[in-house]
Chain A
Amino acid sequence: MCGRFKEWLISFVLVAISLGSGITCAQEIPDPALIFEPPDETSLFGREVPDIGLRYADGSSGHLSDQWAERPVFVTLVFSRCAGICSPYLGLLKSTVEQVGSSGDRYQMVVISFDMRDRPEDLIALAKYHNLENDTGWTFAAPASQQELTALCESLDFDFRWDEQRQQYNHPAVTVALRAGKFARISVGEEISPGRFKEMLSDARGEFVPIYPAPGQAAALFRCFDYDPERGFTPNWGMLLLIAPGLSALALAGGMFFAARVATPRPVKSTRSE
C-alpha cells in the first residue's frame, strides 16, 4: 500500500515538474546555451565506453569494468543535488526493475553521479532515499576524477549544462545498457516500461530481438508480424497478404477450368491405358 502510494506520489511529482517546467518554459525564453542535446542511439551503437575509475557509495573504489565483467550493466547518470528529474526518475526506474526482476543476477544497475561535488555520503543518502542501499543489484558511484567523468560523458554523448541562475544542471534523463563495455541501447527522457526495459536487456545480453517499431512513425497498415517482449511474435494481417496470392491463383485457375468445362465440350477422346 505504502509502495503504491509512493508510486503515485512520484508520478504526481513528475507530472508537476513537467507542468511546472512547461509553464516556466512558456513564460521564459530559454537560454540556447543551456539547452542540452539528447543522445542519438544510432550514432552510439557499438561504441566503446571507457573503463573509468569509480568511487562507490560505501567508500570503496574500483572500475566500471568490474561491473560489466560478469553481466550487462544499465548505467543511469544523475546527481544527488538535483531538484528536478533525477530522484523521480530513479524511483520509476526502481519500479520497472522490480517488475522485470533479476537485478544483480542477469544485469546490474549502476547509478553514476556526473556532479564531481558528490561524495560517498551523498550517494548513500540518495540510495537510502530509494531504499536501495542494501540492494546488491544496484550500485551507486561517482567517477574517480573529472577527466574520467568527461571521458564517460563524451563516450555516451551525454550533454549536461550548468545553469548558474538555478544552481542546477540541465540534463536529459538517460539509462544506457552496456554489454562488455560497449554501448547496446539507450532510453532517453521518459519512464522505461518493463517491456522496453526487457528489450534493452535482451540486446545487452546479446539475445535475439526480432522487431523494433520505427520510432516516431505511424505503424504500417499491414505487417508480417508484431513483436511484444511479453507475448513474443503475433502474426499480423499482413501475413494474409502473403497467403492471398497463392490461394487467389488456385481459385482463379480452378474457376477458369470450371468455366471452360461448362462452356466447352471436351474434345479429347484418346485415353491412356492403365
Chain B
Amino acid sequence: MSTAPNNEASTLVEMSPTETRSANRLTLLWAIVMLALAPILVLLGMTLRGGQSNLLPILEAERFYSILTLHGLGMVGLWFVASMAGACALLRKYVRLHMWVNWVAFLGTLLGVVLLIVATIIGKYGAGWYFLYPLSIHSSGVWQAWVTYTFLTSIAVLGVAWTIWSLDALWGIARRYSLPAALSWHYITGRPGPEVPPFILIVTVSLIANLTGLISAVIMLALYALELAGITQVSDALLMKNLVFLFGHIIVNVTLYLGVGMLYELLPEYADRPWKNNRWVAVAWNTVLILIVIAYFHHLYMDFAQLRVVQVIGQISSYGLAIPSAVVSIYGTLALVWRARMKWSMASLLMYFGVLGWAIGGIGALIDSTIAFNTKFHNTLWVPGHFHTYFLMGVVLMILGSIFHLSGKLSGVPENLRRSRLCTGLICVGGYGFVLMFYFGGAMSIPRRYAQYHELISVGTLLAGTALVFISLLFVGLLIYIWETGRRCAVALKNG
C-alpha cells in the first residue's frame, strides 16, 4: 500500500477553509459526473463496433448515426470539461477563480448534455460530432425540425458555459501575471521576470486558443440562426466546414494540452524532481499558440474548393504544431523519469502511459496530416485509429491519472497497488488492441462511419469483432478505475 505523495510546492494563493471545501466539492462533483458518463459513452462506442461486427443485433442506420453523434460529441465534451475541471483544481494553487463561474459551467454543461441526449437518443439527430453543413439542418426527414433546434441549442449552451469558464480562468491568471509573463516570453528573451510554472504557460496558451475555437463556434451558430430564421437562404458549405473544424480541432487539442499541463504539474511529485519552465518549453508552447489556429486546415484536404496554398499551410503547421510541444513534453517526461525514484502508482502510471499514447497517436496523426498519405487514409479507419490513440490512450489516461491523484489527495484513502496495476494493464492492453484494429482497418482501406460493412470489405466486420473483445478488457479496467476513484470521491465528499 502507498499513498499519493504530497510534497508539492506550498500553495501560493491563500484560500479560506470554506473556499477550499467549496472548491474541492465542485472538483469532486466534476469527477463523479465524469465517472458516471464515461462508461455510458464507452458502451455506446461498443454498441457501434458491436453492430459493425454483427455480434450485436444490426442497428438501423439512423440509430447508428445518432449513437455515433452522441458518442463523438459526448466524448469530446466530457474530456474537455474533465481537463478543464482538473486544470482549474490545480490552477487554484496559483490564482483565484470565481466559484460561481465554475457552478455556471457545471450546470450549463449538465443542461447541454441533457439537450444533446434528447436530440440524439430521442430525436435521432445523426449528423456526426462535426455536424457538417448542410446535413446538420437538412435532415431529409430522418429527424424533425425540433431536433435540429434542440441540438444547436445544446451546442450554444455548452459554448456559452465554456466561454465564461475559460474567461474566468484567464482572468484569474491575468490578475497574477502579465500576458508576457504568463506566456513566459522572458524565458525566451532571457530577461529577468517572475518564476512561471510551465503549467501556467500551458493553461494560458490553451485558454487563448480555446477562446478562438469558441468564437468560431459562435460565428457558425450565428450563420445557422440566420438561415433557420429565413434571413439568408443558404450558407457557404466550405465556410461552415472551416468554422466547425476551427472549433472542433481546437477544443480537442486544448483538451490534450490541458491534460499535458496537469502532467507537467503532477508527475514531478511522483518523480520527486521539479519540472521547471525553460526557454525550449516556452518556445514550444508559444509556437502552439500561433499554429493551433491554422493547423486545422488538415481536416479539409479533400475539399477541392479550398485553395491549394491553404492545404500546404495545413500540412506545414500540423508538423510545426505537433513536433515542438510533443518533443519538448515527451523528452521532458523521459528526462523527469530517467533514474528518478519514481513512485509508480495508478496516477503516475496512467499519466506516463498517457504520454506514450500521445506519442504513438501523434505519429499516426502526423502521417494523416501529410497530404500524400491523407489521399489514401482519409475517411478510412486510420482516422479513428489515430485519434482514439492520442485521445483515449493519451489525454484520457492523463486526465484519469490526474483525477485519481486529486481524489486520493482529498480523501486520503490509501491505494491498492495490485489493483491499480491490474486496472492500468487492462486499460492499456484493451486500449491498444482496440486501436490496433482501427489501424489494420485503415491500412486495408476499410471506410469509417459505415453502419454495416459490405461483403467486399467484410474484413471490417472481423476487425470490429476483435476490437470489441479488446474494448471489453478496457471496459473492465475502466470499471475497476471507477470503483477505486469513485469510493475516494465518496469518502472525500463525506469528509467535507
Contacts and interface: CB of A to CB of B under 8 A. Distances in A.
B246 A224 contact: no
B96 to A, nearest CB: 10
Nearest to A212: B305
A12 B228 CA distance: 44
Given A242-B246, A246-B293, A271 B193 contact: yes
Contacts of A222: 223, 235-236, 239
A221 B235 contact: yes
Contacts, number: 121
B232 A220 contact: yes
B234 A217 contact: yes
Interface in A201-244: 208, 210-211, 214, 217-225, 227, 233, 236, 238, 241-242, 244
Interface residues of A, number: 45
Contacts of A233: 307
A208 B304 contact: yes
A253 interface: yes
A252 B219 contact: no
B236 A256 contact: no
B176 interface: yes
Interface stretch (A16-24, A151-159, A175-183, A260-268): A260-268
Contact of A250 (B208, B216, B306): B208
B175 A249 contact: no
A221 B239 CA distance: 11
A213 to B, nearest CB: 11
A202 B256 CA distance: 44
Q: Is chain B's interface secondary structure helix, strand, loop, or mixed overall?
A: helix
B212 A272 contact: no
A220 B239 contact: yes
Contacts of B393: none
B182 interface: yes
Contact of B212 (A219, A246, A258): A246
Residue of B238, B305, B306 with highest tally of chain A CB at under 10 A:
B305
A273 B307 CA distance: 48
Contacts of A223: 236, 238-239
A248 interface: yes
A45 interface: no
B243 A241 contact: yes
B122 interface: no
A242 B239 CA distance: 8
A267 B178 CA distance: 11
B243 A260 contact: no
Contacts of A42: none
B242 interface: yes
B211 interface: yes
A256 B181 CA distance: 14
Interface in B177-211: 177-179, 181-182, 186-187, 190-196, 207-209, 211
A214 to B, nearest CB: 7
A210 B127 CA distance: 25
Interface residues of B, number: 46
Interface stretch (B40-48, B166-174, B340-348): B166-174
Contacts of A274: 190-192
Interface string B300-321: 0000111100000000000000
A162 interface: no
A217 to B, nearest CB: 5
A270 interface: yes
B215 interface: yes
A117 B270 CA distance: 94
**Residue of B178, B181, B236, B293 with highest tally of chain A CB at under 10 A:** B236
B208 A244 contact: no
A210 B304 contact: yes
Contacts of A269: 194
A236 to B, nearest CB: 8
Interface in B69-101: none
Contacts of B238: 223-225
A249 B209 contact: yes
B226 interface: yes
A-B pairs, 10 with minimum CB distance: A260-B174, A249-B211, A257-B179, A245-B215, A220-B236, A245-B216, A249-B212, A223-B236, A268-B194, A246-B293
Interface of A: 208, 210-211, 214, 217-225, 227, 233, 236, 238, 241-242, 244-246, 248-250, 252-254, 256-261, 263-264, 266-274
22 contacts: A217-B234, A220-B235, A222-B223, A222-B236, A223-B236, A241-B239, A241-B243, A245-B213, A245-B215, A245-B246, A250-B208, A256-B167, A256-B174, A257-B179, A257-B182, A260-B171, A263-B175, A264-B175, A268-B177, A268-B181, A270-B194, A271-B195
Given A266-B176, A267-B176, 9 more contacts: A223-B238, A223-B239, A224-B305, A236-B236, A238-B239, A260-B174, A264-B175, A270-B195, A273-B192
